[in-house]
Structure 1
Amino acid sequence: MSGTEVEGDMMSSDEPVPYPFPRPSALDVPAELRDLRDRPVIPVVLPSGDRAMLVTRYEDVRSVLTNLKVSRNLNRPDAARMTSNNKMFQDERMDPDPPEHTRVRRLVMKAFTATMVENLRPKVQELVDELVTKMQKGPCPADVSEAVAFPLSIRVICDLLGVPAEDQDRFRGWTDRFLSTGKYSGPEIGAAMAEISAYMGQLIETRRARPGDDLISALTQVHEDDDTRLSEYELHWWCRLLLLVGYETTASQIGYMVAKVLAHPDQLARLRADLSLVPSAVEEVLRWKLLNGSLSMLRYVTEDIEVGGVTVPKGTSIIPAVESANWDENVFSCPHEFDIGRAFNYHLTFSVGPHFCIGASLARLEMQIVLETLLRRFHGLRLAVPADELGRSEGTLIGGLLRIPVEWSACA
């Protein structure tokens, strides 16, 4: 909600709490998550100052994410804003709801099928080996985020989209501003968006004239019937979005994964003894959802709905709290324990339903290859600082780690 009173049965007397919740340390989840599911919905206030309702329980979160009465379209005067200076994923010319969203998404998803992503495995492994070799030959301790996570993720998404190698470093600054929740001013964000829009327009025209084996070329060549093909504006919007968010989240997840595993010596020993546990270790890191909350899940209720027996009225802004769902004691045994061998780990970090993360398969692939390669190549890999000294980036939607210094047995 934005300045809208909550109905009585939604505990309107409760004072809203700030969201996202503060974390006690970089690798720990907020203390609020331990007993959050005592209530199905709670009032929160967002970085913008607007109010919303937070959905706390696993089944309720799944239900909200798949409910057609819950819209992702925040271009409404009474909808809450994520931030006061940045619309992020909002665009009045784009419809983020089915069926229009489904039509466009179906075209974009052709590049992210499980088969297509799996075909990228040799290339990703080659890139990881190259980066890890360079890291081994460089100074020790090394920042694994700068040495591996960010360069890998940006090279993968840029190669996939067809961005020339010499331009790839420019996108980090643009992305930092695009995902700002308070780190940058409105004019700074606007200037960055204008720059990337101009760049993307030029790149699309280049690929249209000289198509290559990349996603932008493929999207410019879509020639399905008139009801399904991408419009020019949709083409520009999706190419820009995929580039801006296609690497920052994965890079931050890779960094958190390495830090989280190294911060748990018992789980690290388990993993070293059995590398077949790498996929389940990745899923457990994802379940912990160490990135900043679920602010990007912000939705708008278009008709009254029931959430855990509570009526959420039409016009309410609502957040399905994935990080709370991932800690639901009725779904996950001992959710507060970091268990790399956890079975039936049906976390919701990549969402569910019509807005399931397009890049989920690619993120999983990169995370698995990085984790296995680091453990194979570095004997005695460990954090070079205590885990509680790791810092997070503030004022951004992602909230990744600032530095992840690591060392290994060969260090002098």
Structure 2
Amino acid sequence: MTMSPTSTGACPYPFKRPSALEQPQELRTIRRDPVVPVTLPSGDRALLITRYADLRSVLSDERVSRDLTRPGTARMTKDNVMFQDPHISPDPPEHTRMRRLITKAFTPRRVEELRPRTEKVVAGLLDAMEAGPRPGDLNEALAFPLTIRMTCELLGVPIEDQDRFRAWTDHFLSVSRFTGEEIGRARGELIAYVQELVAAKRAEPGDDLISAMIAVQDDDTSGLSEYELVYWTMLLLIAGYETTAGQLGSSMVMMLDRPQDMARLRDRPELVPPAVEELLRLQVMGSSLSMLRYVKEDIEVGGVLIPAGSSIIPSIESANMDPEVFPSPETFDITRKDNHHVTFSTGIHFCAGAALARMELQVALDAVVRRFPGLRLAVPVEELPRNEGALIQNFLRIPVEW
């Protein structure tokens, strides 16, 4: 027998962290129910999918759509449509075609070829941090300059424009930090810039991802349209930079709060990759607001009937702490095996930049633990502020001493 969820007593979402590194208290209890009603920053209601197996099932269900332009769909926020675009279909078959073309251009080989360059960039940034004022700020010294530089190099974006991109992405990913007018203005400026960039790459192709996306063709010889190229360039630029920068900063705070694990990584560098996976599992940057979906037909989730027309959020942060999948899920374990977290999503919307993010995180973490064995936070971890008004809730400052 199935039951329908009610919106009575819906709790506010995203959940609040009780402290800098603690997970929201709600994540310890919400999996008692497979579906939990929540209220979004927009004031709209949605249903949170809390369990790992259900999340994977929902994200592969053709009755669940990512098209948030449908009438009646819950809004993430009142003033920001983020990646919603009525001219770009986020569902098959159009999304499948676009994704196939992007995958052809964004190959693991292309990412792996950036590893030596990433190592060189990290070394240079750490040189500058060591020679600079103390305490240093890991965000400004490493996390943000590394990720935006590598994203710009991958895409073929002039590095001198990185400060402009940082301002644009801050607005683009705002939940409550900026007004609708400010967000709209930044969005327009970013679109105009990317349009000019794509046109320049079409006129003079280079050895970069934008040029590769322009050149790639599908089996029917049709490539990405001009509009699709602009959309995907924006998506890769914003997601590839901001999320990885936030994840790197948060990962470093997590490790610095555990000096015994830092020492283990110095002694056993082969633990860096599993440590990165565990950091990805436990330090999800913010909430799963961006996972918002629309239910086209009735579906059943964990014995609960979700009617057509509902808005749902498959909760990555809850799924990553499901004890049915992760033994002792609240324990941070850099030796954890079979760590099949869903931080990069799953199915047809698996993060296209996952390989790049993993590579950057591995290179940066390995370099920091070797280069600065005495690195420590310059303030108590509880005093580190997070960016609460944005989709990516990174640490605003990470002052460190060594």
Task: Give the distance between the partners of 2:245 and 2:141, measured in 1 at CA.
Answer: 11
In structure 2, relative to structure 1, the CA distance for the partners of 1:38 and 1:221 (3 Å cut) is: same
Task: Give the distance between the partners of 1:296 and 1:107, measured in 2 at CA.
Answer: 23
Task: Give the distance between the partners of 2:344 and 2:203, measured in 1 at CA.
Answer: 35
Matches within 5 A, 1:243-392: 243-392=237-386
Map Cα deviations across residues 138-193 of structure 1 (whole Å, 9 max, x no partner). Answer: 11211111100100100111111111122122100000000011111111111111
SS of the aligned residue for 1:10 comes to: coil
Tell me whether 1:215 sits opposite 2:209 in the alignment.
Answer: yes
Deviation at 1:50? 0.5
Which of 104, 113, 130 is equivalent to 1:110? 104
Deviation at 1:92? 0.4
Residue 189 of structure 1 aligns with an amino acid whose one-letter code is I
Residue 249 of structure 2 aligns with an amino acid whose one-letter code is G
Map Cα deviations across residues 48-105 of structure 1 (whole Å, 9 max, x no partner). Answer: 1100000011100111111111110011111001111010010000100111101101
Aligned-residue sequence identity (percent) comes to 58
Residue 45 of structure 1 aligns with an amino acid whose one-letter code is T
Task: Give the distance between the partners of 1:116 and 1:110, measured in 2 at CA.
Answer: 10
Task: Give the distance between the partners of 1:218 and 1:113, measured in 2 at CA.
Answer: 10
Task: Give the distance between the partners of 1:383 and 1:158, measured in 2 at CA.
Answer: 29
CA contact (8 A) 2:215 2:223 kept: no
CA contact (8 A) 1:178 1:192 kept: yes
Task: Give the distance between the partners of 2:396 and 2:383, measured in 1 at CA.
Answer: 11
Partner of 2:92: 98
Map Cα deviations across residues 273-322 of structure 1 (whole Å, 9 max, x no partner). Answer: 21111111101110013311111000001111110011111111000001
In structure 2, relative to structure 1, the CA distance for the partners of 1:38 and 1:158 (3 Å cut) is: same
Partner of 1:174: 168
SS of the aligned residue for 1:12 comes to: coil
Which of 56, 72, 75 is equivalent to 1:78? 72
Task: Give the distance between the partners of 1:244 and 1:348, measured in 2 at CA.
Answer: 20
Residue 241 of structure 1 aligns with an amino acid whose one-letter code is L
Which of 9, 17, 23 is equivalent to 1:23? 17
SS of the aligned residue for 1:319 comes to: strand
Deviation at 1:13? 6.2
Matches within 5 A, 1:391-410: 391-408=385-402
Deviation at 1:361? 0.6
Task: Give the distance between the partners of 1:49 and 1:361, measured in 2 at CA.
Answer: 36
Task: Give the distance between the partners of 2:218 and 2:89, measured in 1 at CA.
Answer: 20
Q: Which stretches in structure 1 are left out of the alignment for 5+ residues? A: 1-7
Map Cα deviations across residues 184-204 of structure 1 (whole Å, 9 max, x no partner). Answer: 111111111111111111111
CA contact (8 A) 1:28 1:290 kept: no
Matches within 5 A, 1:148-159: 148-159=142-153
Residue 386 of structure 1 aligns with an amino acid whose one-letter code is P
Deviation at 1:11? 3.7
Partner of 1:66: 60
Q: Which stretches in structure 2 are left out of the alignment for 5+ residues? A: none
Partner of 1:37: 31
SS of the aligned residue for 2:3 comes to: helix
Tell me whether 1:206 sits opposite 2:205 in the alignment.
Answer: no
Task: Give the distance between the partners of 2:382 and 2:388, measured in 1 at CA.
Answer: 16
CA contact (8 A) 2:105 2:213 kept: no
Which of 2, 10, 35 is equivalent to 2:4? 10
Task: Give the distance between the partners of 2:7 and 2:226, measured in 1 at CA.
Answer: 48
Which of 175, 179, 187 is equivalent to 1:185? 179
Map Cα deviations across residues 191-245 of structure 1 (whole Å, 9 max, x no partner). Answer: 1111111111111111111111111122223344656411111111111221122
Residue 6 of structure 2 aligns with an amino acid whose one-letter code is S
TM-score by length of 2: 0.97
Tell me whether 1:125 sits opposite 2:119 in the alignment.
Answer: yes
CA contact (8 A) 1:103 1:228 kept: no
